């Protein structure tokens, strides 16, 4: 069971962090498009964000499962301060994801609009948080 949870955890990691890198690449690819085309392109690529949401959900569910299997106290003891930092970054990531989903829904409703300018900034923050989570996890459970 532990191996299955670890597998799901890595799939969630690939989906979650991979979405951040994919969005960055798509943003760079759309940079030279005309403003109207860029907005239409961005609105279509919002479908990719579902992968990030699914990845985060898998990470949370499998992470809780892994922690319960190892023992909550043992996990916190083994992970130390880096594990606490990781969990803090996860909470920030959940907040950023919620904000991003709110912005995306508003952009879809308005067909773009001024809210579109905030989305890449939040996306960059989420990518940095994702990489930070991976880094602190590696430090915690080397």
Distance separating alpha carbons of residues 130 and 63, to the nearest angstrom: 15
> Over 90: is that where the pLDDT of 36 sits?
no
The whole-model pTM stands at 0.86
Tell me: pLDDT of 111 over 90. Answer: no
Tell me if 5 sits within 8 A of 73, measured CB to CB: no
pLDDT at 102: 94
Question: What is the average per-residue pLDDT within 90-117?
Answer: 91
Neighbour tally for 103: CB within 10 Å: 19
Maximum distance among all Cα pairs of the chain, rounded to whole angstroms: 54
- Quick one: pLDDT band at residue 76, thresholds 50, 70, 90? very high
Taking the C-alpha atoms of residue 47 and residue 50, their distance in angstroms, rounded to an integer, is 6
% of the chain at pLDDT higher than 70: 100
Q: Going by C-beta distance under 8 Å and a sequence separation of 6 or more, which residues neighbour residue 126? A: 20, 52, 93, 96, 97, 100
Band (pLDDT 50/70/90 cuts) for residue 17 is very high
Q: Phi and psi of 74, rounded to 5°?
A: -65, -40
Q: Is the pLDDT of residue 113 over 90?
A: no
Give the Cβ contact number of residue 120 at 10 Å. 14
Return the pLDDT at 58: 96
- Confidence at residue 90, expressed as pLDDT on a 0 to 100 scale: 95
Please say if the pLDDT value at position 38 is more than 90.
no
Residue 54, number of CB atoms within 10 A of its CB: 15
Say if CB 134 and CB 82 are below 8 A apart: no
Q: Let me know if 125 is exposed, middle or buried by CB neighbors in 10 A (0-12, 13-18, 19+).
A: middle
44 pLDDT higher than 90: no
Residue 140 pLDDT greater than 90, yes or no: yes
Q: Read off the tokens for 64.
A: 């809780």
Supply the pLDDT for residue 112.
82
């Amino acid at each position: 069971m532990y191996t299955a949870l670890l597998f799901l955890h890595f799939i969630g990691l690939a989906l979650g962090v991979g979405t951040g890198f994919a969005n960055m690449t798509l943003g760079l690819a759309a940079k030279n498009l005309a403003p109207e085309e860029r907005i239409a392109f961005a609105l279509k690529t919002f479908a990719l964000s579902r992968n990030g949401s699914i990845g985060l959900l898998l990470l949370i569910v499998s992470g809780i499962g892994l922690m319960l299997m190892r023992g909550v106290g043992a996990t916190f003891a083994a992970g130390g301060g880096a594990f606490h930092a990781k969990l803090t970054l996860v909470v920030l990531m959940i907040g950023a994801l919620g904000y991003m989903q709110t912005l995306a829904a508003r952009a879809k409703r308005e067909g773009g609009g001024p809210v579109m300018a905030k989305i890449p900034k939040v996306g960059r923050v989420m990518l940095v948080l994702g990489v930070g989570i991976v880094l602190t996890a590696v430090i915690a459970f080397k």
